[in-house]
Chains A and B, each alone.
Chain A
Amino acid sequence: MGKYLVMIYDDEAKWAAADPSVAEQNHKNHLAFAEANGAALRGGGQLDSSTTATSVRADGNGGYVVTDGVFAETKEVLGGYYVIEAADLDEALAIAKQVPSPMGGVEVRPLVNGG
């Protein structure tokens, strides 16, 4: 068994343009997903929009540079995550395929040493 982080990447522009009913339905889909995969879920959450993100980088001189915005500028941004426990990558991917992500997709990464 190992733990995997399932990161949900969304195109925020698409969410902004979508009817509120789409977000409502998506919320219901997540509840259904969580119920169906309760045995494997170890945590998860929805992130606030990328405009609320703050990045912190070491400046190389012992200090830090704090900037407004996400770490890497891409069309899809991290919008939420689940931590799941699975026997292997195939099982993790089978769960990841059920994660509702209508405006993007998900990335699956193992936690080191099984988390």
Chain B
Amino acid sequence: MAEAVAAAHSTEWAAVLAATARVAADLDLAEDCVQDAYAKALVHWRDQGVPRRPGAWLTTVATRRALELRRRADVARRKLPLLMPEDDVQDRTFPDDRLRLVFTCCHPALAQEAQIALTLRLVCGLSSAEIARAFLVKETTMQARITRAKQKISRSGIPYRIPKAPDLPERIDAVLDVVHLVYAAGHTAADGDALTRTDLGRRGLDLARMIRLLLPDSSEAAGLLALLLLTQAREAARVTNGRLVLMEDQDRSLWDRELIDEGLRLVPEALRPAGRFGLMSAIAAVHAEAARWEDTDWSEILGLYDVLLERWPSPVVALNRVVAISYVAGPEAALAQLPDDPALATYPYLASTRGELLWRCGRIQDARAAYEEALAFTSNAVEAEFLQRRITRGA
């Protein structure tokens, strides 16, 4: 029975909370009611069996409780700033309440770290303690961050609805950025001993699937999901025995074919029109389609990076483009084009990329110095161990 409730927690939480929030008109109240519904499920489902549609059962119980509590609060004349649900015509295009919840959590009037925390808490149903652990901050800090964000939502009147059409592309971008950051935080943990935090990675992928489902017409939603699938597919080959393995040296038989196929199927759609995530997924697709490292179509990758850099310039994209140049025009040509951006001054991948290029040019001592520099800027134990091996390579 506990398993049935746990399963319903991971699959139904967002939908139940989103529907309840509409009735409760208050996120805290909605959360309490949903928690309460799950607690009741533990008892009821044991006595009466698991209902045929667990999500509907939970939603009914939670919304009924929310209505009851609101009525009582109205009697007590407790004047609360309420969420502002609005049944505008536009919402019929987006019948799923979960989308309202996602757009509210990822509202640009909230700081991005608050958007991430709220999304994990309200959309994924993680506890403050779990989110705090994932981001290595104190639970009280995370709790305060979430409380502050919820207060801003209700007090400043952040609406509980789908943004109006002119704002939609920008608002979708904000949502996708949050999902990407959740996945990325799981993919390479900034601190700590393990390279990945599997749970955050899985949550990021789940969120990307959900957004794709809720926004079937967004090519960028398709692009983000494709990118995450194609990245996740290489996960098993990326670390062996606790050691980081570069894509060049990865055992490609360990790549997850199912995830790759799912990702590849999405890429054509993600490129119509080609947005940021669409282009990044196309690059990941070129890697996925190469049977061996030697078969990688680097000129295709370079072309994609050219478009990406032109339309969404960023020093990190510029750095990745240089790697592509090194395989098209050679490491010397690439060295000359390394970005000289102050934003990357302490970015360990700039120094490690310089190290790789210098090594390939045969400048062994210079390469080792570059790896030393990268080592000084990394706080991840697995990456540090990798750089140590690079420093002593060939010695």
A residues apposed to B, CB below 8 Å: 2, 4, 86-94, 108-110, 112-114
Offer 29 A-B interface pairs, CB within 8 angstroms, sorted by A: A2-B157, A86-B157, A87-B84, A87-B86, A87-B157, A87-B159, A88-B84, A88-B86, A88-B158, A89-B107, A89-B157, A89-B159, A90-B158, A90-B159, A90-B163, A90-B164, A90-B167, A91-B159, A92-B157, A93-B109, A94-B167, A108-B156, A109-B156, A110-B155, A110-B157, A112-B155, A113-B79, A113-B81, A114-B81
**Smallest beta-carbon distance B13→chain A, Å:** 25
Q: Judging by beta carbons under 8 Å apart, are A88 and B157 in contact?
A: yes
CB-based contact A110/B86 at 8 Å: no
Tell me the chain B residues, 128-181 only, with Cβ under 8 Å from chain A. 155-159, 163-164, 167
Question: Chain B residue with minimal CB distance to A87?
Answer: B84
B181 to chain A, nearest CB (A): 23
Measured between C-beta atoms, what is the minimum distance from B91 to chain A in Å? 14
B355: shortest Cβ distance to chain A, in Å? 42
Q: Are B109 and A89 neighbours in the complex by a CB distance under 8 Å?
A: yes
Given contacts A88-B86, A89-B107, A90-B159, 11 further A-B contacts (CB under 8 A): A87-B159, A88-B159, A89-B156, A89-B158, A89-B159, A90-B158, A93-B109, A94-B164, A110-B155, A113-B79, A113-B81
Across-interface contacts of B156 in A (CB, < 8 A): 89, 108-110
In the complex, what distance in Å separates the CA atom of A82 from the CA atom of B303?
49
Q: Smallest distance from the beta carbon of B99 to chain A beta carbons, Å?
A: 15
- Counting residue pairs across A and B whose Cβ atoms lie within 8 Å, the total is 37
Give the complex CA separation of A72 and B204 in angstroms: 42
How many angstroms between the C-alpha atoms of A14 and B313 in the bound complex?
29
- Hey, which chain B residues are within 8 Å of A114, CB to CB? 81
Number of contact residues on B: which range applies? 10 to 19
A88, B158: Cα distance in complex, Å: 6
**B163 partner residues in chain A, CB cutoff 8 A:** 90
Tell me the smallest distance from the CB of A94 to a CB of chain B, in Å.
8
Nearest-CB residue, chain A, relative to B84: A88
- Considering the chains assembled together, what is the distance between the CA atoms of A2 and B157 in angstroms? 8
> Ordered nearest first, which 9 A-B pairs have the shortest CB separation?
A88-B159, A88-B157, A89-B157, A88-B84, A110-B156, A89-B158, A2-B157, A89-B156, A90-B159
Q: For chain B residues 92-128, which have a beta carbon within 8 Å of chain A?
A: 107, 109
B56 to chain A, nearest CB (A): 29
Contacts of A92 in B (CB 8 A): 157
Q: Which residues of B contact A86 (CB under 8 A)?
A: 157
Q: Which residues of A contact B84 (CB under 8 A)?
A: 87-88
Cα-based distance from A44 to B164 in the complex (angstroms): 27
Within 8 A of A (CB), among B76-96: 79, 81, 84, 86
A93→B156 CA distance, assembly (Å): 11
B182 to chain A, nearest CB (A): 24
Bound Cα distance from A114 to B156, whole angstroms: 9
Contacts of B107 in A (CB 8 A): 89
Distance, CA A109 to CA B159, complexed state (A): 15
In Å, the complex CA distance between A112 and B79 comes to 12
Nearest B residue (CB) for A112 = B155
Q: CA–CA, A4 to B156, complex, Å?
A: 9
Q: What's the Cα separation between A91 and B107 when bound, in Å?
A: 13
In the complex, what distance in Å separates the CA atom of A86 from the CA atom of B157? 9
Residues of B within 8 A of A91 (CB): 159
Q: How far is the CA of A114 from the CA of B79 in the complex (A)?
A: 11
Residues on A with beta carbons closer than 8 Å to the beta carbon of B167: 90, 94
**Contact residues in B for A93 (Cβ distance below 8 Å):** 109
Contacts of B158 in A (CB 8 A): 88-90
A114 vs B155: C-alpha distance when bound (angstroms): 9
- What's the least CB distance linking A87 to chain B, in Å? 7
Chain B residues near A89 (CB-CB < 8 A): 107, 109, 156-159
Chain B residue numbers with a CB within 8 Å of A2 are: 157
Report the nearest A residue to B81, measured CB to CB.
A113
Instruction: Find chain B residues with CB under 8 A from A108 CB.
Output: 156
Residues of B within 8 A of A4 (CB): 157
On chain A, the residues within 8 Å of B159 by CB distance are 87-91
Which residues from B are CB-within-8-Å of A90?
Answer: 158-159, 163-164, 167
Which chain B residue lies CB-closest to A86?
B157
Instruction: Name the residue on A nearest B163 (C-beta).
Output: A90
CB distance from A101 to the nearest CB of B (A): 18
Within 8 Å CB of A112, what residues of B? 155
Report chain A residues within 8 Å CB of B164.
90, 94
